[in-house]
Structures are given as C-alpha cells and as structure tokens.
Amino acid sequence: MKPKHIIGAVIIAACLGAMFYFSKNFATPYVTFDEAAKAQGRQVQVMGELVKSAGAALIPESGAYEFSISDPDGKVMRVRTMKGLPSNFEQATQVVAKGAYEDGIFVASDILTKCPSKYEAKADEAFQKEPGE
C-alpha cells in the first residue's frame, strides 16, 4: 500500500462517515411518535406497524376510520382519517400516516401502505372457500 492509497481510503471512509452522520437529516421523512406529538398541528409523517388486534374501526357519527400503529419500541399511537382506507390496507404490514397530531390522536390526510415483501400466487378463490360454505 502506497501512502496515497491510504490517504484515499481515509478520505472515502470520512465521506461515508459524514454521509451516515448527516443522513438522519435528509434520508427519511418519517418522524417518531414523540416528535409527532411535539409538533402539535404541524404536518408530519409517521410510520408504524399496524396493531392488528386493535383493528380499524369505522366511527359511524363522523364517517372517520380509526386504527392504531406501533413503533419498534412498542409505543402505540391512535390514527384517525376521514379519507377512508386504501384498498390494500387489510393486508398491509406497516403503514405511513401523513397528517398532524391533534389532542391525543394523529389526524391523517393520507394513508400509505407497506405490503408484504414476499410474493406468492394469489390463492384461487375456489380453494379459499371451505367445503360446504
């Protein structure tokens, strides 16, 4: 290894390190639940796992849907949307909610879905039905 190779490697490593260090500022639009709560009223995006057990509930009086998402630490946030749920919401593993946190609930104007990353054939409906159904 010549000295200039070592200098080159150090420069490259420094660039990567700097990029990684600053990437938090530019790489992701998603904020944590705490940051969303702190940003009261400001438009942000949060991402989390759908809490399947809580399900999505339609609030009959307002026509809004409500559901819960959890972050990797297990913190749970309630999300409400007036726009209805996207068609593949049921199968989504994670969702992104775009909107603002208002008085204990995240009011979303848009819901984005993360679909399962495994691709399997669509089951034939004839097979899905239980015999005698």
Whether the Cβ atoms of residue 67 and residue 50 lie closer than 8 Å to each other:
yes
Assign 53 to helix, strand or coil.
Answer: coil
Which of the 8 DSSP states describes residue 88? Answer: T
Length of the chain in residues, anyone? 133
Single-letter amino acid code for the residue at 21: Y
Residue with tokens 């759908």: 50
- Give least dist CB 7 to another protein, A: 11
User: Interface with another protein includes 64 (CB under 8 A)?
Assistant: no
User: Interface with another protein includes 19 (CB under 8 A)?
Assistant: yes
Interaction mask 32-61, another protein, x per CB under 8 A: -------------x-x--------------
Phi, psi of 125 (to 5 degrees): -60, -30
- Give least dist CB 88 to another protein, A: 6
Please say which residue, 26 or 133, places its beta carbon nearer to another protein.
Answer: 26
Number of other residues whose CB lies within 10 A of the CB of residue 111: 21
Q: Which stretch binds another protein (CB under 8 A): 35-43, 62-70, 88-96, 99-107?
A: 88-96
User: Interface with another protein includes 109 (CB under 8 A)?
Assistant: no
User: Interface with another protein includes 16 (CB under 8 A)?
Assistant: yes
